[in-house]
Amino acid sequence: MTTEPSGALFDVAVVGAGPAGSATARWLAMQGWRVVLVERTRFEAPRIGESLAPNVQEPLRALGLWDEFMALRPLPSWGTRSLWGDATEQSHSHLLSPYGCGWHLDRRAFDRMLAHGAEAAGACLLEGVAVQRSVHQEGCWWLRTTPDTGRGTASQQTLRARVLIDATGRRAHVGRGLGARRMLFDRLVGVAVRWADVAPAERGHLLVEAVPEGWWYSAPLPGAAQHEDGAMIAMLMTDTDLCARSRLSGAESWQGILGSAGATKQRIAVARRVSTPQVNCAHSQRLLRECASDASPWLAVGDAALAVDPISGSGVLRALRTARAAADTVGELLARSHAVRGALAAYEAERDKECTTYLLERARYYGAEQRFDTPFWQRRQVLRRVPGDAGNPTLSAIAAAS
Ligand SMILES: Cc1cc2nc3c(=O)[nH]c(=O)nc-3n(C[C@H](O)[C@H](O)[C@H](O)COP(=O)(O)OP(=O)(O)OC[C@H]3O[C@@H](n4cnc5c(N)ncnc54)[C@H](O)[C@@H]3O)c2cc1C
């Protein structure tokens, strides 16, 4: 962790060192901007989102972090098996991809590697420091921060920056504090349990299985990082209210509902449970902000700007890709401070387009499963409810139907 005096003026402050924030910070630092990357944790706790598609190689190579990624010794993923729309298992092999295979990784180690990658490029990395409040005055941002373990005003410090980036994930802590609002498209949660000693034949692929309450996802985890052999995560994706009604955060109820997921249950039949169920927010959302003529120079990147359903398997990839777009936009804001509104409006228009495309993909994906007439699945038959030209609906039409 870099130390920097309180009150120092940076070109850019990036709040949140998940994949989006760290990649944005690295891009900007490589361009020579003075960047501070503020992360409230010290990457001490396990993180969720451990399966990466083969084409993640592209942004990691562009960032110059491919060797660092391989040094984490991720497990190769040879493909996805699914029971979706049909009780018969379908397989999709990654061997057809030009990149060869996908990856299962330890997300905590991956996120730490990216944050250190930003630091190695010259960004000032502050770990264990949370941004509480951001105010734009006298031509720059003033960020009030608190050490993670600190209490009271004695431990607070202030950072200053010309441009501010919200990379705080689904919470969009910074943007919401500045008046932006989240458009929520669902109330999805993932109830995850970790396992060890999974049978060797189950250690090379991802499995997705639709059930009346939602769908199951199970994926291998690298053993060394988990201090376990044959580690795996198994997670039920369902809605907040359905999760609460069935008390799925309790180990017994979780185990009970696994009974309706034959393939997933079979997969972990000989395995040993090593955690209790953990509930993770997984809702889809878009952060909406005004780009008025006096717009102050801030933007959101990654999940803070647009969070997608884990069924897409693209959260980390999107975070890394939009980091490049965010860095380009910020470079423009810093170089031409009179053009703030236009640059921000163009950035937001791109995110809106990405959001519309994503919502259509999501609707088609859920539309392919017609076996269950249950609340979870009824809520997701979105395209049937979109008025007018369902072939080319707008973001607001899909949002209204969601
Ligand atoms: C259940 C589930 C399963 C998923 N599975 C996959 C998967 O298999 N593959 C995949 O590609 N994606 C998956 N995703 C999505 C993926 O995890 C996210 O898209 C990705 O993490 C987004 O990166 P990010 O940097 O935008 O946000 P995050 O990864 O959420 O990072 C935000 C960072 O900001 C920090 N922070 C928050 N508030 C503050 C503050 N006030 N001050 C300082 N720091 C702060 C946090 O500590 C964190 O480090 C999954 C998501 C969920 C919910």
pLDDT tens digits for range 147-173 = 875 444 446 789 999 999 999 999 999
Q: State pLDDT tens for residues 289-304.
A: 877 666 689 999 999 9
Cα–Cα dist 32/30, whole Å:
5
Ligand 1, residues at Cβ distance < 6 Å: 15-21, 38-41, 48-52, 130-131, 167-169, 171, 173, 190, 280, 282, 302-304, 310, 313-317, 319
Q: State pLDDT tens for residues 26-80.
A: 999 999 999 999 999 999 999 999 999 999 999 999 999 999 999 999 999 998 9
Spatial CB neighbours of 257, under 8 Å, sequence gap ≥ 6 = 211, 213, 236, 246, 248
pTM of the model: 0.93
Which atom, in ligand 1's list, is nearest to the CA of 145? 42
Among the listed ranges 63-72, 323-332, 359-368, 376-385, which one has the minimum average pLDDT value? 376-385
Minimal CA–CA distance to 158: which of 21, 42, 38?
38
Q: How far apart are the first and last CA of the chain?
A: 43
Q: Which helix (H) or strand (E) segment is 161 a member of? A: strand 157-166
Minimal CA–CA distance to 72: which of 122, 136, 117?
117
Q: What average pLDDT does this structure show over 180-194? A: 96
Delimit the domains of the chain by residue range: 1-50+106-183+287-402, 188-281
Distance 57 CA to ligand 1 centre (A): 19
Both tokens of 368, joined, read 């392919």
Work out whether the CA dihedral 12, 13, 17, 20 comes out positive or negative: negative
Distance 17 CA to ligand 1 centre (A): 9
pLDDT higher than 70, residue 217: yes
Mutate to test the pocket of ligand 1, among 48, 103, 309, 318 (most ligand atoms within 8 A of CB): 48
Distance 294 CA to ligand 1 centre (A): 30
Distance 316 CA to ligand 1 centre (A): 8
Which atom, in ligand 1's list, is nearest to the CA of 41? 47
Q: How far is CA 163 from CA 12, 166, 319, in A?
A: 5, 10, 19
The predicted structure's pLDDT at residue 227: 56
Which atom, in ligand 1's list, is nearest to the CA of 170? 30
The predicted structure's pLDDT at residue 292: 67
Q: Contact 53/60 with Cβ under 8 angstroms?
A: no
Q: What are phi and psi of 117, to 5 degrees?
A: -65, -40
Q: Contact 2/124 with Cβ under 8 angstroms?
A: yes
Q: Count CB atoms within 10 A of the CB of residue 98.
A: 8
Which atom, in ligand 1's list, is nearest to the CA of 16? 34
What is the full DSSP assignment across 178-189?
A: TT-EEEE---EE
* 393: three-class secondary structure by DSSP: coil
Supply the CATH classification number for the domain 1-50+106-183+287-402: 3.50.50.60
pLDDT higher than 60, residue 207: yes
Which atom, in ligand 1's list, is nearest to the CA of 304? 26
- 188-281, what's its fold? D-Amino Acid Oxidase; Chain A, domain 2 (3.30.9)
